[in-house]
A = this chain, B = another copy of it.
């Protein structure tokens, strides 16, 4: 018997990738909206803190700028971006568009097993009151939307959405606590599951879109804490 298992590869992730991940997690975990004034990232300071030279730092910052996490003002520095309410709303709208398309595609592409396990994957939606466990519900909420997107089997849509999600994640949780969103949100989720099970593409698309746009309207109305 062969007990000789090898790991697929060990590319020994480059310093650039490590710097990218370190900076990205630092940015997404910080409370950018909780403080005033611009947050500037000093290349030399970062390279000294992380123990690498400026080159991989700069390359990592270039990627983060592409993804919209930082903004580079020539000859002035690179700053963590603070999204305006309008931008957040736009992201949610784009997300709603992509996710509703994923739902449409899922109705044609998803396997019966995948659709069937939607109910078992999210027991939180079918039992108890969400107000009690907002933290777990918020987790399930994100998993739910990611599941829909993955059922569409469209790589491009998945990639675009995962990036949008990174930016919007922080706002979602806040929005849940405001108003009466949690309970109405669950009802809509259940409707979406039913539409998918019925493979009703038009209905699933519409429900997902309206669900997303509902969040957009909510943020637009109650998102005073932004900007």
Chain A, interface SS category: helix
A27–B14 CA distance with the chains assembled, in angstroms: 26
Nearest Cβ on chain B to A74's Cβ, whole angstroms: 6
A34–B62 CA distance with the chains assembled, in angstroms: 32
CB closest chain-B residue, reference A60: B62
Number of interface residues of A (CB under 8 A): 28
Within 8 A of B (CB), among A79-104: 86-87, 90-91, 93-94, 96-98, 100-101
**Quick check: A94 and B101 within 8 Å, CB to CB?**
yes
Nearest Cβ on chain B to A169's Cβ, whole angstroms: 16
Q: Work out how many copies of this chain go into the complex.
A: 2
A120 near B: Cβ within 8 Å?
Answer: no
Instruction: Show 24 residue pairs from A and B whose CB-CB distance is below 8 angstroms, ordered by the A residue.
Output: A11-B74, A58-B59, A59-B59, A59-B62, A62-B63, A63-B66, A66-B66, A86-B155, A87-B156, A90-B154, A90-B155, A90-B156, A91-B156, A93-B101, A93-B105, A93-B154, A94-B98, A94-B101, A94-B154, A94-B156, A94-B157, A97-B98, A97-B100, A156-B164
